[in-house]
Amino acid sequence: MQSPPPNKPMNGFSQLASPSTPNVILPPPPDPNIEPAAYLRSVYAVRERSKLVHEKAKNNQLNHFDVDLTKFNETAAYVVSIIKRDFAPDYHTIPPHGRWQHFEVGGRPRIDQLLTSWPSKIDARERTRRLLDLFLVSVLLDAGAGTKWSYKSKETGRVYRRSEGLAVASLEMFKAGYFSGDPTEPYQVNAAGLERLSVGQLAIGFQVSDSNALAGLEGRAGLLSNLAEALHNTEYFGSSHRPGNMLDYLLTHPSTQTSSVPIITIPTLWSVLIDGLGNIWPATRTQIDGVSLGDAWPCSAMPSSPQAQPWESIVPFHKLTQWLCYSLMAPMTRLMNVQFAGVELLTGLPEYRNGGLFIDTGLLTLKPADAKRGIATYHQNSRVQGQPSMEVVPLFSTEDDVVVEWRAVTVGFLDDLLVEVNKLLRLEGSNKLSLAQVLEAGSWKVGALRDRTLQQMS
């Protein structure tokens, strides 16, 4: 497997990389037998439910994938080789996975430059609010861009694609005031700005044309429209209806400790995101007792019994909520020295770059019947007008049992990968890498290489 290019962190992110876990008592998870919907929407449920599928994977008992555990050590060794190449011996400098690094694609410290551009009278709290505004809307716009779309930076003239292209585009749109309802205050996101943002304006911002199509443009516009409505929740987002106002809610929350530095619990941050933004997701997704669960899906690999309750067949992932958690923590930590308790509750992100690592290395192999079905779906879809040309690969919908099983085992194997990577690097105690660091420097970076390879092939 070809190695991705080196990518050193910018501007001293080491303070964010491996903080000692604050000694804070976390609230218990909801009882699934009493509050099944609340449990499945909680951060606790992701790892607990995925673990049941992961256990089957370790015994090669999955429904859709053959598992070759002899490939696991090879996979870990490859990831370690990339981490060593890019960071040895300064592993503590590896930044945690998050949107911040995407803004620095091409080695340009865009966020630091943005901060420097603001007058000194803008205090740390308002600077943090502004970055939370930017990061949240940028993450929400960070869905699959397709293989043909690209963005040419208005500032450098360089061309970027996929997640990194969407990050640069959203940053330049933010600076131009696309998301603000006040032309005198461009550096913010608020409900008024999002309410007036049309599909056409979004297309202009993303440089969309007949020859530069962006997948899901209308869906992104709809998501921002839904976000505008959600921002009217003044408890979380204040009277100015900005995502960044969650900072004030979090700092004054009863669970937040403020003896020397603010310590916010992950379940509190999670609650803001899962509850405050819950209405922006499609209501047609999996439900329990009439409550939409978001990114949670039935999975046939889950243990079953005649007495099983409906919630027991469901595996939650909440990938975008987790991606928001990872991304929003960085501005709060770096600008205001906020610490977070319970970061270990977050899992590896079950998405195609991380999950693709285990397929590319042969740890997971799609079973023949499913591969045949997926290829048939690909050919059927390729005949639909307007579909982009792409590598011939099995194609499945998000809710397909193949995808749900794949995502569940990805969560489990990323946990295993963390343990093995630290073992191979001989890191112990406080020197151990966090899961967020392994995602950033290892699994996600390797997946990004595969993206670039496919772009060259298409």
DSSP per-residue string spanning 334-397: HHH--EEE-GGG-----SHHHHHHHHHTTSEEE-HHHHHHHHHHHHHHHTSTTPPP--------
Residue type, 144: G
Check residue 134 and give its pLDDT: 98
pLDDT-based confidence at 393, cuts 50/70/90?
confident
- Asked if pLDDT for residue 48 goes beyond 80, the answer is yes
Closest CA to 142 of 102, 114, 97, 104: 102
- Asked if pLDDT for residue 96 goes beyond 80, the answer is yes
Check residue 306 and give its pLDDT: 77
Residue type, 36: P
pLDDT-based confidence at 113, cuts 50/70/90?
very high
165 token code pair? 């292209």
d(CA 190, CA 181): 7
pLDDT-based confidence at 381, cuts 50/70/90?
confident
Mean pLDDT computed over 69-85? 96
pLDDT-based confidence at 11, cuts 50/70/90?
very low
Mean pLDDT computed over 282-295? 84
d(CA 420, CA 264): 29
Q: Are 396 and 374 in contact (CB under 8 A)?
A: yes
Mean pLDDT computed over 372-396? 79
- Asked if pLDDT for residue 292 goes beyond 70, the answer is yes
């977070």: which residue's tokens? 340
Check residue 440 and give its pLDDT: 93
- Asked if pLDDT for residue 203 goes beyond 70, the answer is yes
Check residue 24 and give its pLDDT: 85
- Asked if pLDDT for residue 452 goes beyond 50, the answer is no
pLDDT-based confidence at 258, cuts 50/70/90?
confident
Check residue 22 and give its pLDDT: 60
Helix axes 124-140, 162-175, angle to 10 degrees: 130
364 token code pair? 């997971």
Q: Which range has the worst mean pLDDT, 215-224, 303-312, 353-362, 412-421?
A: 303-312
pLDDT-based confidence at 201, cuts 50/70/90?
very high
Check residue 456 and give its pLDDT: 31
- Asked if pLDDT for residue 220 goes beyond 90, the answer is yes
Check residue 385 and give its pLDDT: 62
- Asked if pLDDT for residue 351 goes beyond 70, the answer is yes
- What are the angstrom distances between the C-alpha of 182 and each of 185, 187, 193, 405? 5, 9, 7, 45
Check residue 455 and give its pLDDT: 35
- Asked if pLDDT for residue 436 goes beyond 70, the answer is yes
Q: Are 321 and 270 in contact (CB under 8 A)?
A: yes
């996101």: which residue's tokens? 189
- Give percent of the chain with pLDDT exceeding 70: 91
What DSSP element (H or E) covers 160?
Answer: strand 159-160
What DSSP element (H or E) covers 291?
Answer: strand 291-292
